[in-house]
Structure 1
Amino acid sequence: MSANTETRPVPPSWVIREATGQDWPAIWEILEPVIRAGETFTWDRDTTEEQARAKWVKTAPGRTFVAVGTGRLDGVVLGTGELHANQGGGGSHVANAGYMVRAGYGGRGVARALCAYSLEAARAAGFRAMQFNAVVESNVRAVAAWQSMGFNILATIPEAFQHPSLGFVGLHVMHRSL
């Protein structure tokens, strides 16, 4: 294999689009194991499917979206994201978002692509910044990804998250302007 072939970027094997009601079963297949593991999201580990749907599925001006596989993964929902205003009223110009990736597909760029999609959608919707309120500090891959996309850690709340195996760890508040 030549050096050119080895360094040539591989195109992503997914497209990102707005979620539909028909996507919910696949979204729940992604959310449930992440929620139950309790390692990266501040959700109650006993969250029901109905509670998860009420939290995750956003209506305008928020949105819910999915990364759907192409090629050999055609039609498989590989990841999902949601975008909404971080606060109401005078804080409604700052967006917030969350992303979850199907088990076995982490580290392939799906979450980064979902984040990039949400940044563009937030910008197009008139948001001035995006803030993540609770990035678990032990989720080092996510922290590094968000930092590489221009997010800064504004603060770390010590021992604000009880990780199921690591005990109490910090939560980062991360921010970037749009």
Structure 2
Amino acid sequence: MEIREATDRDWPAVFPFFSAIIEAGETYAYPLGLASDEARTLWMEQPPGRTVVAVEGGAVLGSAKMGPNRPGRGAHIATGSFMVDPVAQGRGVGRALGRCLIEWARAEGYHGIQFNAVVETNRGAVHLWQSLGFEIMTTIPEAFDSMQHGLVGLHVMYLKL
């Protein structure tokens, strides 16, 4: 599996799984029914951030975006968001994208990585991030409206670099 910078040519492969994940209503607070151009604006980062894709055999299996968590005086802490095509789940794509973020953030001189909103019922993601060294710093109760579980908490997770 190769992880590389995402290009405009990758978006037609990313948007179908981006849309499916958003419409499932279990992991992201993005609005439902986003058109491709609206979704692209949310996902495809501009410098100093970046967006990458995980590719194998010419197929885009997942994508991640990363950059400073906050502007200005908070810009020394990175953040990231991840999506794996449901047909590619369980193949290590999320772990590879997570490692990519950690390596990139270290190389760019960030002091840590903060995830602002990991849905507590997304057990696979919580386990993955913890296995990569992230800690749950706090949980905001009932901050996410899961289509399947109703109101659930959002974890704030952190990794010191």
TM-score (norm 1): 0.88
* Structure 1, unpaired ranges of 5+: 1-13
Query: 1 CA distance for matches of 2:106 and 2:17?
Result: 26
Q: Identical aligned pairs, as a percentage?
A: 48
Code of the residue aligned with 2:71 in structure 1: it is: G
Amino acid at match of 2:34: T
The C-alpha deviation readout for 1:120-147, integer Å capped at 9, x for no partner, is 1111111111000000000001000000
Q: Distance in 2 between matches of 1:53 and 1:65?
A: 13
Counterpart in the other structure of 1:33: 20
Equivalent residue, structure 2, for 1:51: 38
Structure 1 stretches of at least 4 aligned residues deviating more than 2 Å after TM superposition: none
State the alpha-carbon separation in 2 of the partners of residues 143 and 60 from structure 1. 28
Instruction: Output the CA distance in 1 between the equivalents of 2:75 and 2:115.
Output: 14
Pick aligned residue for 2:58 from 50, 72, 75:
75
Alignment gaps of 5+ in structure 2: none
Secondary structure of 2:54's match?
A: strand
Distance (Å, rounded) in 1 between the aligned partners of 2:135 and 2:28: 19
Instruction: Please list the CA deviations of residues 53-99 of structure 1 after superposition, one character each: whole Å capped at 9, or x if unmatched.
Output: 11110122100000001xxxx10000000001110111000001001
State the match for 2:80 in structure 1: 97
* Contact map agreement 1:94 1:127 (CA 8 A) in 2: yes
CA RMSD of aligned residues (A): 0.8
Q: Which amino acid aligns with 1:174?
A: M
**Are 1:152 and 2:139 an aligned pair?**
no
CA distance in 2, matches of 1:15, 1:169: 35
Question: What's the counterpart of residue 48 of structure 2?
Answer: 61
Matching of residues 98-137 of structure 1 within 5 Å: 98-137=81-120
Q: In the alignment, which of 11, 17, 22 is matched to residue 24 of structure 1?
A: 11
| Count of residues in Structure 1 that have an aligned counterpart in Structure 2 | 161
| Alpha-carbon shift at residue 47 of structure 1 (Å) | 2.2
1:23 CA drift (Å):
0.5
> 1:37 touches 1:45 (CA, 8 Å); kept in 2?
no
| Distance of 1:156 and 1:48 partners within structure 2 | 31
